[in-house]
A and B are shown apart, each in its own frame.
Chain A
């Protein structure tokens, strides 16, 4: 019960404190790994998937719906060229999105995808998407942008409708800094 013992005790507790402070930050990589591993929270990989050619399962038809949002009240025009498509699992499909920068200056935008229901996220594979890179737009520029995707035939049987949502964020400031 000496003063020495007590000093060691509170130092130990201080290390626990610092460790837990670090744990707060460590949750970020942990969470991201977990999300991609099990599709938690509808997260989908933001890079091209390596696709094994799979046989098309023509016995199933899944409806894929598209949703578009512009974040933070930017006055851009962003919409899907088709509201929905019907696809068979295993079938490569190309869809297209339209974006117009209605502002009088150049912008850089980044699209973030999300899939609902979240169980479906890991079965939606994209080989081409405007969300893989930042998209620069000149003032007034408009563009049609393709997305090529496939549904993995392993897609759970109870899912017959998937929503793929994109949100465009304004990252002009960040892009200029780099």
Chain B
């Protein structure tokens, strides 16, 4: 394939031919749609593997006492579950969505660096094979938690170097993806699409990409220092040689807190795309959404120590990080307000993507509230390292980030495949997911408040009831996802007699350049920069919206 990187290549040969045939198509592909598909299939495979790990955890916690697994293996499961879900599930899923949608939303033919895009994806299967292979090694996988705190983490056996190198690989993959997204968005928008006319999904991804470029290298540095501490006698974090293990926590969370926003900003973009479509109004407060996203991106760099209130900080530090953290709730609140205001007096309909988006607004906000409680230094001394924290971050990550990914797949799958999913099963999927996820995680708030610690395979008897409910919810949620898998694969492969009979604009309330191309979207779109009619501009400013 004679791919030129030049936007202005006009009508060369590949305008008319489709993808290569067979497996080599997927290995060699530099097409953003193919890579988007690969990323999404990879992410859902990882969700499945990480999901199985969470079931091991929940099965063990169904009753107090040791049930199925050894404590050591239990801790390997909590560690690997988090790593797989964050780095293998949520992040690649968002990169996959960016691959598919960013070029189609800004009207360019591909990402700026298609070959880098191919490498970025294919690093991932190797990285995760390496990481998962540690489970079969002598001594098992890493068990010190996804936060990898020394000195505990330095006691990991043979798995240790494999973990570190796999983190390096995942980091390289995310950084290449992020650079690609920034260069594409800033250089390849169709004429007339100014920054403040970009769809919000593009905006949120732009800021996410900057966060990735800023913090993934810091994580890489931190784990490299762990590696040299373990094998080369350095003392970055070993107290005996003058290092300080607490420094690792600072460096980790300097990465870690922006990372949690990397996991949620693209979700904000998705929800800001879906709600206007099904409320049949333009997004309320587009500009404030952009500024709020930027503010969150900035603030995320100055709140990291709210994860370490209990390590012993000067009072001034505790206060600073407490107030800075609470400040983040302000732009987040602006966003929630805007979503609700968009729905206000809209002619709403509740197709499956909208159900997931509204579910997101509601349930993510619960996670935001528990975050605010954790942000209060004095009470965090009680909540820290309990199930209350587990409940908090699962509310923001599962009915938050994961619901948004599901919503995005339902919303765009008709555009990707040309086939409509089954609405009845979609709605069933939503309601069962919403019920089971609350069954799983709501009781964990109570468990945490009552003092049940996280990352422990056993607990006191009085916690049994809530743990039983939580485990039932987790198994229910897992099984429910098969509805989704079949519904989506049905679109991909035309099962259940699904026909390719969809109009370009699949949802009549949808705007944006992606709805001006046929369904399914052809292999190559926007070889020439398209015109941008006013009707397709999703970034409508308040003054324009008024008339």
Contacts of B213 in A (CB 8 A): 13, 16-17, 20
Q: A21-B218, A171-B240, A177-B233 are in contact. Are A6 and B112 (CB under 8 A)?
A: yes
Contact B225 A28 (CB under 8 A): yes
Contacts of A112 in B (CB 8 A): 239-240, 242
Contacts of A35 in B (CB 8 A): 244
Contacts of A118 in B (CB 8 A): 312-314
Using a CB-CB cutoff of 8 Å, which residues 5-55 of chain A contact chain B?
5-6, 9-10, 13-14, 16-25, 27-28, 31-32, 35, 38-43, 46
Tell which of B7, B188, B240 touches A71, judged by Cβ atoms closer than 8 Å: B240
Q: A20-B214, A41-B312 are in contact. Are A1 and B188 (CB under 8 A)?
A: yes
Contact A14 B240 (CB under 8 A): no
Contacts of B217 in A (CB 8 A): 17-21, 23-24
User: Is A110 on the interface with B (CB-CB < 8 A)?
Assistant: yes
Q: Which 8 A-B pairs have the closest CB atoms?
A: A24-B221, A169-B240, A20-B217, A21-B217, A24-B218, A13-B179, A112-B239, A31-B247
User: Is B378 on the interface with A (CB-CB < 8 A)?
Assistant: no
Q: Given the complex of chains A and B, what is the CA–CA distance between A1 and B186 in angstroms?
A: 9
Contact B312 A42 (CB under 8 A): yes
User: Is A174 on the interface with B (CB-CB < 8 A)?
Assistant: yes
- How far is the CB of A34 from the nearest CB of chain B, in Å? 10
Contact A169 B250 (CB under 8 A): no
Q: A13-B213, A21-B218 are in contact. Are A3 and B244 (CB under 8 A)?
A: no
Q: Given the complex of chains A and B, what is the CA–CA distance between A31 and B350 in angstroms?
A: 52
Binding site for B on A (CB under 8 A): 1-3, 5-6, 9-10, 13-14, 16-25, 27-28, 31-32, 35, 38-43, 46, 71, 110, 112, 116, 118-119, 167, 169-171, 174, 177
- With both beta carbons as reference points, the residue of chain B lying nearest to A39 in the complex is identified as B314
Q: Given the complex of chains A and B, what is the CA–CA distance between A177 and B235 in angstroms?
A: 14
Contacts of B240 in A (CB 8 A): 71, 110, 112, 169-171, 174
- With both beta carbons as reference points, the residue of chain B lying nearest to A111 in the complex is identified as B240
- With both beta carbons as reference points, the residue of chain A lying nearest to B209 in the complex is identified as A13
Q: A6-B112, A28-B225, A41-B312 are in contact. Are A14 and B242 (CB under 8 A)?
A: no
Q: A10-B183, A27-B250, A118-B314 are in contact. Are A174 and B241 (CB under 8 A)?
A: yes
Q: Digit string of B170-195 for contact with A (CB within 8 Å is 1, else 0)?
A: 00000100111011001110000000
Contacts of A18 in B (CB 8 A): 217
- 29 CB contacts below 8 A, A to B, read A2-B6, A6-B113, A6-B183, A9-B183, A9-B187, A10-B113, A10-B179, A10-B183, A13-B178, A13-B179, A13-B183, A20-B214, A20-B221, A21-B220, A23-B218, A24-B219, A24-B225, A25-B221, A27-B254, A31-B250, A32-B244, A40-B314, A41-B244, A41-B246, A43-B244, A71-B240, A112-B239, A171-B240, A174-B240
Contact B312 A9 (CB under 8 A): no
Contact A5 B187 (CB under 8 A): yes
Q: Given the complex of chains A and B, what is the CA–CA distance between A46 and B236 in angstroms?
A: 16
Binding site for A on B (CB under 8 A): 5-7, 112-113, 175, 178-180, 182-183, 186-188, 213-222, 224-225, 233, 236, 238-244, 246-247, 250-251, 254, 311-314, 317
- How far is the CB of A99 from the nearest CB of chain B, in Å? 15
Q: A20-B217, A21-B220, A27-B250 are in contact. Are A1 and B187 (CB under 8 A)?
A: yes
Q: Given the complex of chains A and B, what is the CA–CA distance between A174 and B229 in angstroms?
A: 12
- How far is the CB of B433 from the nearest CB of chain A, in Å? 37
- How far is the CB of A168 from the nearest CB of chain B, in Å? 9
Contacts of A20 in B (CB 8 A): 213-218, 221
Tell which of A2, A38, A167, A171 touches B241, judged by Cβ atoms closer than 8 Å: A171
**Given pairs A17-B213, A20-B217, 12 additional interface contacts (CB within 8 A):** A13-B183, A17-B179, A19-B217, A20-B213, A20-B216, A28-B225, A28-B243, A38-B314, A110-B241, A118-B313, A119-B314, A170-B240
- With both beta carbons as reference points, the residue of chain A lying nearest to B188 in the complex is identified as A1
Q: Given the complex of chains A and B, what is the CA–CA distance between A148 and B68 in angstroms?
A: 55
Contacts of B6 in A (CB 8 A): 2-3
- How far is the CB of A6 from the nearest CB of chain B, in Å? 5
Contacts of B241 in A (CB 8 A): 110, 171, 174
Contacts of A21 in B (CB 8 A): 217-218, 220-221
Tell which of A6, A28, A167 touches B239, judged by Cβ atoms closer than 8 Å: A167
Contacts of A5 in B (CB 8 A): 187
Contacts of B180 in A (CB 8 A): 10
Tell which of A13, A24, A46 touches B251, judged by Cβ atoms closer than 8 Å: A24
Q: Given the complex of chains A and B, what is the CA–CA distance between A27 and B304 in angstroms?
A: 14
- With both beta carbons as reference points, the residue of chain A lying nearest to B186 in the complex is identified as A9
Contact A22 B233 (CB under 8 A): no
- How far is the CB of B146 from the nearest CB of chain A, in Å? 18
Contacts of A9 in B (CB 8 A): 182-183, 186-187
Contacts of A169 in B (CB 8 A): 238-240
Contacts of B187 in A (CB 8 A): 1, 5-6, 9
Contact B182 A13 (CB under 8 A): yes
- How far is the CB of A35 from the nearest CB of chain B, in Å? 7
- How far is the CB of A129 from the nearest CB of chain B, in Å? 14
- How far is the CB of A26 from the nearest CB of chain B, in Å? 9
Contacts of B247 in A (CB 8 A): 27-28, 31
- With both beta carbons as reference points, the residue of chain B lying nearest to A169 in the complex is identified as B240
- With both beta carbons as reference points, the residue of chain A lying nearest to B184 in the complex is identified as A6
Contacts of B236 in A (CB 8 A): 28
- With both beta carbons as reference points, the residue of chain B lying nearest to A32 in the complex is identified as B244
Q: Which of A6, A9, A23, A39 has the most CB of B within 10 A?
A: A6
Q: A3-B6, A71-B240 are in contact. Are A14 and B218 (CB under 8 A)?
A: no
Contacts of A43 in B (CB 8 A): 244
- How far is the CB of B234 from the nearest CB of chain A, in Å? 10
Contacts of B317 in A (CB 8 A): 40
Contact A25 B225 (CB under 8 A): yes
Contacts of A32 in B (CB 8 A): 244
- With both beta carbons as reference points, the residue of chain B lying nearest to A31 in the complex is identified as B247
Q: Given the complex of chains A and B, what is the CA–CA distance between A42 and B224 in angstroms?
A: 26
Contacts of A71 in B (CB 8 A): 239-240
